[in-house]
Amino acid sequence: MKKAWQLERELRDSAIPLDRRIYQSNWAVEAYQNAPAGDDLLRLFWSSNVPGSGAPEIPYQSMVQALGNKGFNVTSAEILIPQGIELFEQQKIDDLRVLTVRLLAALNEAPIDTENPIHTYQNPGDWESIIQAMGKIEKGKIIAKVPDLGEKIYQGWIGQLAGGSFGTAIEGYTSTQIANVYGEIRSYITSPETTNDDVVYELIFLDVFERMGRSLSSIDIGLEWVRQIQFGWSAEWVALRNLNNGILPPQSGSFQNPYSHWIGAQMRGMICGMLAPAWPIEAARLAFLDAVVSHDSNGVYGEIYAAVLTSLAFAKNDIKELLWEALEYVPQKSQYHAVVKESLEICASHDDKVLTREKLEKRFEQYNWIHAYPNIAAVVFALWFGNGDMTETFSLLAKAGYDVDCNGGLVGNVLGVISGVPTQWSKPIGDLLETYIKGKEKLSIQELADRTARLSL
């Protein structure tokens, strides 16, 4: 019997990218504005395609994989995956409902896998415990004065949206398949679109921050999710389900959430860094408050790392130093810390980019393409070898594959703050951010940056 991660890997290896130079994105018609339910949700979770790239997904399969990565024995659920796929293909929906209940029950009852190394690490959960578990950190308000703050924040937003737009067309595919279709990518594949399911969570965080200031709470953030978001994916879907059932943060991020170590928190930490420029401990605190709405432990640490990277970018411009220093703000005995440290050490010990990328890919092959670990490894790889050049760094992200739009958003934000965004990447976007959130369908990026800068003071 194949493991869930092996089934997922086979799906990923065989997926050939839709050539976005020919096929248009389907974001315009698949904008998460209505939450699917019943048999519509059942079908969606047994066969989906990523908006923007068209990459195939089987969320129930990846759910099993994700819980296995969290250190549970999911053998009883893995047995059911091929049966579920067959029932879906035969459109035996009545039987598929029953099988899905059995699969979910197997996950809920999955025992601890005592041999999984994740159990050898520590997972501080509350903020004070996380602070105590950090390394050598700067606890003062700011570590440097930030000249031209408004412009740096504007460049950060533009860089984030450029990176997200760049990656939208290729997310969910392997480096090999991306190269087979596109070759080496050093520009937008098609006219960039800023619509995705990543940035909306940052916009909502900004709404809450504007209303509550630095006294905002995770519950405030979660309730605003319910107000503005109809539907989410993976960890955010679980969180919204929990919130709508009256389960508030931090339990909304941890209760029956196999996806809680995935990239969803890590992908949105940049707003916390921009609201605490050159103030990394505050960026980390804001990231914690935001992350626990939908994630726990290693997923939360992912947002902390992304937020601190962004915050430090306002004070430092040495990329490699930045990557190492931000790691001090992650609990030092956590698995997330170990993953980032190992990724940095692999990059530091090899000059060959191809060899380094292949080594990292092999190391994280058991993790889903949306999991935080392989994606932060891709970010580390691209920033390390990109030498501050946005085009080269984006190109390296494309070579790594995985969740390229999320990774591009983080990388683009950091590099935008440090050195600005080249016109090659900024001009095609212009001043328009489009979302699927009611009342936020079309936003001025300049106005968004000005608002962020005002609130960051």
Rounded average pLDDT over 83-112: 98
Q: How far apart are CA 99 and CA 206, in angstroms?
A: 41
Q: Which residue do the tokens 């389960």 mark?
A: 247
The pLDDT of residue 85 is: 98
Cis ω before 250 (30° cut-off from 0)? yes
What tokens appear for 84 in the block?
């579920």
What percentage of the chain carries pLDDT values higher than 70?
98
The pLDDT of residue 29 is: 43
The pLDDT of residue 195 is: 86
Q: How far apart are CA 258 and CA 68, in angstroms?
A: 9
Per-chain mean pLDDT for the chain = 95
64-73, 74-83, 147-156, 191-200: least confidently modelled range: 191-200
Q: How far apart are CA 113 and CA 71, in angstroms?
A: 5
Rounded average pLDDT over 323-336: 98
Nearest to 2, CA basis, from 91, 83, 116: 83
The pLDDT of residue 139 is: 79
Rounded average pLDDT over 277-306: 98
**422: pLDDT strictly greater than 60:** yes
Instruction: Give 34-56 pLDDT, tens digit per residue.
Output: 789 999 999 999 999 998 899 99
pLDDT bucket at 227, cuts 50 / 70 / 90: very high
The pLDDT of residue 306 is: 98
DSSP string covering 103-149 = HHHHHHTPPB-TTSGGGGS----SHHHHHHH--S---SS-SS--TTH
Rounded average pLDDT over 422-439: 95
Instruction: Give 236-273 pLDDT, tens digit per residue.
Output: 999 999 999 999 999 999 999 999 999 999 999 999 99
Q: Which residues of 308-347 are buried (b: 16+ CB within 10 A; e: fewer)?
A: bbbbbbbbbeebeebbebbbebbbeebbbbbbbebbbebb
**453: pLDDT strictly greater than 50:** yes
The residues of the chain that CATH labels 1.10.4080.10 are: 127-456
Q: How far apart are CA 227 and CA 72, in angstroms?
A: 34
CATH top class, domain 127-456: mainly alpha
90-99, 137-146, 448-457: least confidently modelled range: 137-146
The pLDDT of residue 196 is: 84
Rounded average pLDDT over 317-341: 98
142-146, 201-205, 334-338, 420-424: least confidently modelled range: 142-146
**33: pLDDT strictly greater than 60:** yes
